[in-house]
Every structure is written in C-alpha cells, then in structure tokens.
Amino acid sequence: MKKKNNERAINEKMEKTFGMRRTEVVKDCPAIKDLLERWPSLFCENQIKEEFKRITTVHLERTFLSRLDKYTTKLLDLFQKKGGIAGTKIKPMLDSLNQHPVDVRRDIVIRCLVEYLGESGEELIKDYQDVSQEEVKGDCSNHMMKISVLHPIGAQETKDPCCLQLNNLCLCAITGCHRSTTASFHYIRPLLATVSSLELDDPRKI
C-alpha cells in the first residue's frame, strides 16, 4: 500500500544516516549526480532545510526571514540611493513595494539586493509557463547555477515542496505553484542551503 505522507519516516532515516552522509560529502567529495542518486531526499525542499539545521543547528527559514526583516529598513535606504543601471532596475520594484503582502515584499527586497550587488536577477531565476520539465532542465544545462520555476497553466496550486533537479552545478526548482516572478525568489533560500550543505564553492559566474 502506498503511503500518502511519509515525510516523518524520511526525516527519521535522514537523521539516522546524517553522520555517514556528512563523511561522504566532506571526505569523499562525490559528484552531485552521485549524491542525487544515493540521497534523493536530500534535494527536496523540506530535507534541504532539515539538513542545513543538522549541520548548523540554525532554523534556515525562520532565521533568514527574521534577519531580513531586521535589516530591511537599512537595505531600503541603500537601495533608494543606488544609481546607474542597477538603480534604474531597483526603482520600479521599490515603487510597488507597499502594494504587496509581506511575503512578496520580502522577495522584492531580496531581488533588489541581488541587483544592488551587481548580479542579474534574470540570470539567476527564470519562470516558465506551461512547458515540460525536460525543456526547463535543458535550459538549465547552460548555467552554473540557476533557479527555474515551472508554473503549469490551468493546474491547481500545489503545496508540495519543490524538488531540486540538478544538471552539472545548476539547481532548478520545479513546482506547480502559481507564484509571481518576484515571489519566486523564495527559492533562493533552499538553493543557498544546498550549496552550503554540499560544501560547494560559490560560482564566479551564474
């Protein structure tokens, strides 16, 4: 009989095998595709967060959001003073900030920070409407690191955790969630946690 909710069982098994897994990651430095084959649950959103907590004893999402909220006022002040090309990209996002609920406002602040630091939000994350996962993964193969969010048209919004599909060092979050492009920056947290947990070097170019 198929279990409908085996998240607890998966978490217990991941807890028991944590020491073995960390030894493999730190000592053996296996290829990501080998880790994906051996530990597939490690690349689902819930276990990405749990693994980060096992390593650091820090609750990823709660800590990230509380720090983001704490420094948002200072960040907004910096963003408003930013000039040049980055400033022109940031301004429209800031102008619409108060029109959105708190979760979207947080994502806008993250997007502004990406632009402020000289990175390209468009290169880091891309939303796809009504395309196959194979097409998304094929597009990802041209990038070292990227978040691709799949939004199937006409599908019911799902609360299932995203699953990170890997192509080389490109991590692609695939979900059925109907979220805006801005809100898709939600997936930066599990992406960065995966990079940290797998002891990966930050890529110089996305």
| pLDDT at residue number 14 | 94
Number of domains present in the structure of the chain? 2
Alpha helices for the chain (secondary structure H):
7-16, 18-23, 32-38, 45-56, 60-81, 84-95, 102-116, 121-124, 133-140, 188-197
116, 135, 153 - which closes a domain:
116
Residue type, 163: C
Does some domain include residue 9? no
Q: Dig out the tokens for 177 from the structure.
A: 């969630």
Instruction: Summarize pLDDT for 177-195 with one digit per residue, the tens.
Output: 444 444 455 666 666 677 7
Query: Residue 169 — very low, low, confident or very high, per pLDDT cuts 50/70/90?
Result: very low
Residue 40 is part of which domain span?
Answer: 16-58+121-197
Judge if 193 and 94 occupy the same domain: no
48, 83, 116 - which closes a domain:
116
In percent, the amount of the chain with pLDDT more than 70 equals: 67
Query: Residue 73 — very low, low, confident or very high, per pLDDT cuts 50/70/90?
Result: very high
Segment 118-139 shows an average pLDDT of 74
Judge if 95 and 173 occupy the same domain: no
Judge if 166 and 105 occupy the same domain: no
Mention every residue, 6+ apart, whose C-beta is less than 8 A from residue 6. Answer: none
| pLDDT at residue number 186 | 61
* Sign, CA torsion 59/174/172/200: positive
Judge if 24 and 103 occupy the same domain: no
Does some domain include residue 6? no
Phi, then psi, of 164 in degrees rounded to 5: -90, 115
Does some domain include residue 109? yes
In percent, the amount of the chain with pLDDT more than 90 equals: 30
Judge if 185 and 93 occupy the same domain: no
Does some domain include residue 167? yes
